[in-house]
Amino acid sequence: MSKARTSLTRTSLVHLALISYAIISVFPVFLTIINSMKDRNAIFRNPMQLPSPKTFDLVGYYTVLGQGDFANYFQNSFIVTVASIALVLLFGAMAAFALSEYRFRGNTLMGLYLAIGIMIPIRLGTVAILQGMVATGLVNTLTALVLVYTAQGIPLAVFILSEFMRTVSDDLKNAGRIDGLSEYSIFFRLVLPLVRPAMATVAVFTMIPIWNDLWFPLILAPSEATKTVTLGSQIFIGQFVTNWNAVLAALSLAIFPVLVLYLVFSRQLIRGITSGAVK
Amino acid sequence: MGSLQLKSVRKSFGTVDVIKGIDLDVKDGEFVIFVGPSGCGKSTLLRIIAGLEDATSGSITIDGAEVVTVPPAKRGIAMVFQSYALYPHLSVKDNMGLGLKQAGTPKDEIEKRVSKASAMLSLEKYLARRPAELSGGQRQRVAIGRAIVREPKLFLFDEPLSNLDAALRVNTRLEIARLHRELKATMIYVTHDQVEAMTLADKIVVLDAGVIQQVGSPMELYNRPANLFVAGFIGSPAMNFIDAGRLGVTDAKTIGVRPEHLSLSRDNGEWQGKVVHVEHLGADTIIYLESEKVGLITVRLFGEHHYAVDDVVFATSAAGQTHRFDANGRAIR
Ligand SMILES: Nc1ncnc2c1ncn2[C@@H]1O[C@H](COP(=O)(O)OP(=O)(O)OP(=O)(O)O)[C@@H](O)[C@H]1O
Ligand SMILES: [Mg+2]
């Protein structure tokens, strides 16, 4: 590679940009975590300081965990997020396969219709959604949240996955057809494994807004039994107007489950099983 | 078993007619090759035979049974693709066995057929590997093996060798010829490559723009091309076409002479010309002449010859080796 030397400066510049961006992004998280472990005075007097033996205090965590239902909030968030991702991936991938694989009347129109879903925020329909949920008796259930988040995630999933599915070789699918695989087997056994990295990307993009959402839990499922972590932490702010220890501790705790999910998906992102399938 | 009939098969994509009425009869055990320029519809026709694409109209019979409504897996065909199209997550063995497994063949029968096919193609050592761990030539052999184990009535090949390098291509070509002799199966093979077509085929089908131009044995096409297109397409370097008027011939529009049917002399001959380019291929020497009387012509001489650019030479066509074509491009016999 004769370009090695010129690209060294370029690589370092790129890395410099990426590192500064990473620092900027991670800094608030870092600040939240260190302050969650300090006592109240230290938070206000010296927010930038790391916890020292003198200021170290886990009172925030005690408050949060002692507050009763926090474990339940976590469970709710987890169920809603995982169920929504699963549904978004399943239905998104199926729709994407249909749109990219089959020529039928209205194919392009259907694609455009779904693309509009990316551009129009689902919150515009909140009132209608709430009326619907009331009519079907789904208010204050996790099902309501899962349904809304699935609807919210599908357009982007279809958009990304159909692009990727177009790149799966026709010959491979045709070979499957000649070998007697049904269209479902072709989809599940040949196409899905090949678009796994794209599925992981979609999962990550879908997961973050769902986990962090405050709007729909507040409107559709604010009952104690169905509260999500984000909603639970917000209620803390109301109850302990100035109890920042509890709020910071709750937020710090809320980071970890989503981090675990992210790690699970990003391993899929990196795995490349497609090499060698088709030249 | 293994005959194929096509009757006025047509295919259009939207308003574009790609296949414009194909009639073809393939007998049991024949090796038939489709050749034609890029985009003429060879792959489309093959996919229609396989059932991967629906014909717009027409009938397809395999072994006397109409198959238009039969799904690909039930047509008794097997197909080998240019891009190999192996299942990336399955081992070589499972790649070959999947079709049989789907059809509900007993395990020991699958085992038997896979080991027979892999012995035929010397793939025994690789049975446990994934496609990613094989070279291009090995992958193509696995793809051929996957077709063999199904023991189809009809093999379909879509440019199976075009991703291989030249040496491997020759080897695999010989292997396919041997397979055809051993299996005595009917094979339909699409290629761009004239050498493949001439060496493998019992029967060549020359296609252009979705229409069959001529069907015949390789030597028939070479010796008696039906029209200008076939005359120009078969043979390399391509046939020289000379305007009949320039030669004073009145009962034809175009005269065709193959480069190998011309001889050169420095002293006298039919057409005087100046050498514009010489190519030495070892076994052959290709000489391009610019002649006042007949324009640019190509001469192919056997062995090594030393002509230099700008030499003045005479070309003479061998007696009885010229082709005459009428104003519509059809051969006059
Ligand atoms: N799905 C499709 N939709 C529209 N047009 C198509 C489609 N598939 C093929 N065609 C057109 O049909 C024509 C024939 O295509 P085909 O693939 O059969 O050519 P080919 O003879 O196999 O060419 P090559 O030698 O390059 O493989 C081409 O002009 C192509 O653009
Ligand atoms: Mg083709």
pLDDT tens-digit readout, B44-59: 999 999 999 999 999 9
Q: For residue B81, give the chain A residue with the closest CA.
A: A171
Tell me the β-bridge partners of B255. B242, B324
What is the DSSP-derived secondary structure letter of residue A138? -
Instruction: Give yes or no for B87 touching A (CB within 8 A).
Output: yes
A278 touches chain B (CB under 8 A): yes
**Choice from B9, B10, B40, B206 to test ligand 1 binding pocket (greatest atom count within 8 A of CB):** B40
Question: Quick check: A177 and B71 CB within 8 A?
Answer: yes
* Chain B residues within 8 A of A274 when measuring between CB atoms: 88
Residues A118 and A224 reside in one and the same domain: yes
Q: CB–CB of B84 and A279 under 8 A?
A: yes
Is there a single domain that holds both residue A206 and residue A165?
yes
pTM of the shown model: 0.81
Quickly state the pLDDT bin for A276 (edges 50, 70, 90): very low
Measured between CB atoms, does A124 come within 8 Å of chain B? Answer: no
Least confident piece of the model among A123-127, A274-278, B230-234, B242-246: A274-278
Whether A276 and B88 lie within 8 Å, measured CB to CB: yes
Q: Region A100-117: what's the mean pLDDT?
A: 89
- Average of pLDDT values for B152-181? 90
Is omega for the bond preceding A28 within 30 degrees of 0, making it cis? no
The reported pLDDT for the residue numbered A265 is 79
* Ligand at shortest distance from the CA of B192: 1
Which residue out of B10, B11, B12, B13 has the highest number of ligand 1 atoms within 8 Å of its CB and is therefore the one to mutate?
Answer: B13
The ipTM of this complex is: 0.85
Residue with CA at minimum distance from ligand 1 atom 25: B38
Query: What are the pLDDT digits (tens) for A203-258?
Result: 988 888 999 898 999 999 988 889 888 888 877 776 556 678 888 888 888 888 88
Position A279 pLDDT exceeds 50: no
pLDDT at A5: 60
What residues does CATH 2.40.50.140 cover in chain B?
A: 239-332
The enclosing domain of A238 has a CATH number of: 1.10.3720.10
- Summarised one tens digit per residue, pLDDT across range B107-159 is 999 999 999 999 988 899 999 999 999 998 899 999 999 999 999 999 999 99
Compare CB distances from A178 to B79, B88, B136 and report the shortest one's residue: B79
> Tens digits of per-residue pLDDT, A173-202?
999 999 999 999 999 999 998 888 889 889
Q: How many CB pairs under 8 A join A and B?
A: 82
| Stretch 149-208 of chain A: residues touching chain B, C-beta under 8 Å | 169, 171-172, 174-181, 190, 193-194
For residue A269, give how far its alpha carbon lies from the nearest alpha carbon of chain B (Å).
17
Q: Inform me whether the pLDDT recorded for A32 exceeds 60.
A: yes
Cβ separation A178–B47 shorter than 8 A: no
Nearest CA to ligand 1 atom 31: B39
Same domain flag for A197 and A245: yes
> Is residue A63, in this structure, part of any structural domain at all?
no
Does A150 share its domain with A34? no
Which protein residue has the closest C-alpha to ligand 1 atom 26?
B38
Residues A45 and A106 in one domain: no
B144: closest chain A residue by CA: A175
Domain span(s) for CATH 3.40.50.300 in chain B: 4-231
Residue B15's Cα: distance from chain center in Å? 28
Confidence check: pLDDT of A273 > 50:
no
User: Could you tell me which CATH number the domain at B239-332 has?
Assistant: 2.40.50.140
| Percent of chain B's residues with pLDDT above 70 | 100
Q: Give the pLDDT confidence score for residue A244 in this predicted structure.
A: 81
CA distance B98 to chain A (A): 7
Rounded alpha-carbon distances, angstroms, from residue B167 to A1, B137, B163, B235: 29, 10, 12, 21
Give the model's pLDDT for residue A239: 55
Q: Kindly compute the dihedral angle of the four CA atoms of residues A259, A263, A265, A266, in this order, to the nearest 10 degrees.
A: 120
Q: Quick one: pLDDT at residue A136?
A: 95
| Mean pLDDT on A2-11 | 71
Q: Considering only the C-alpha atoms of chain A, give the largest distance between any 2 of them, rounded to a whole number of Å.
A: 73
Domain that holds residue A32: 25-57
Same domain? A89 vs A50: no
CB-based pocket (< 6 A), ligand 1:
B 13, 18, 36, 38-44, 192
pLDDT bucket at A277, cuts 50 / 70 / 90: very low
Reduce the DSSP state of residue A223 to 3 states and report it.
Answer: coil
pLDDT of residue A80: 95
A231 and A100: one domain?
yes
CB contact under 8 A, B79 and A278: no
Nearest to B85 among A193, A273, A278 (CB): A278
**Do residue A134 and residue A259 come from a single domain?**
yes
Whole-number Å distance, alpha carbon A103 to ligand 1 midpoint, is 16
Structural domains counted in chain A: 2
- Of A257-261, B52-56, B94-98, B306-310, where does mean pLDDT reach its minimum? A257-261
**Position A274 pLDDT exceeds 80:** no
* Same domain assignment for residues A31 and A95: no
Q: What is the 3-state secondary structure (H, E, C) of chain B?
A: CCCEEEEEEEEEECCEEEEEEEEEEECCCCEEEEECCCCCCHHHHHHHHHCCCCCCEEEEEECCEECCCCCHHHCCEEEECCCCCCCCCCCHHHHHHHHHHHCCCCHHHHHHHHHHHHHHCCCHHHCCCCHHHCCHHHHHHHHHHHHHHCCCCEEEEECCCCCCCHHHHHHHHHHHHHHHHHHCCEEEEECCCHHHHHHHCCEEEEEECCEEEEEECHHHHHHCCCEHHHHHHCCCCCCEEEEHHHHCCCCCCEEEECHHHEEEECCCCCEEEEEEEEEECCCEEEEEEEECCCEEEEEEEECCCCCCCCCEEEEEECCCCEEEECCCCEEEC
Closest residue to atom 12 of ligand 1, CA basis: B18
pLDDT at A1 over 60: no
Residue closest via CA to ligand 1's atom 9 equals B44
Q: What is the CATH number of domain B4-231?
A: 3.40.50.300
Best CA proximity match to B300, nearest among B321, B326, B330: B321
Instruction: Tell whether A118 and A208 lie within a shared domain.
Output: yes
Do A142 and A47 have their domain in common?
no
Tell whether A177 is covered by a domain.
yes
State the distance from the centre of ligand 2 to the C-alpha of B51, rounded, in angstroms. Answer: 16
A178, B72: Cβ pair inside 8 Å? yes
The minimum CA-CA distance between B234 and chain A, rounded to whole Å, is 29
Asked if A181 and A52 sit in the same domain, the reply is no
Residue A114 CA to ligand 1 centre (angstroms)? 30
Percent of chain A with pLDDT over 90: 42
pLDDT at residue A3 in the model:
52
Contact residues on chain A for B83, CB-CB shorter than 8 A: 169, 171-172, 278-279
A188 is a domain residue: yes
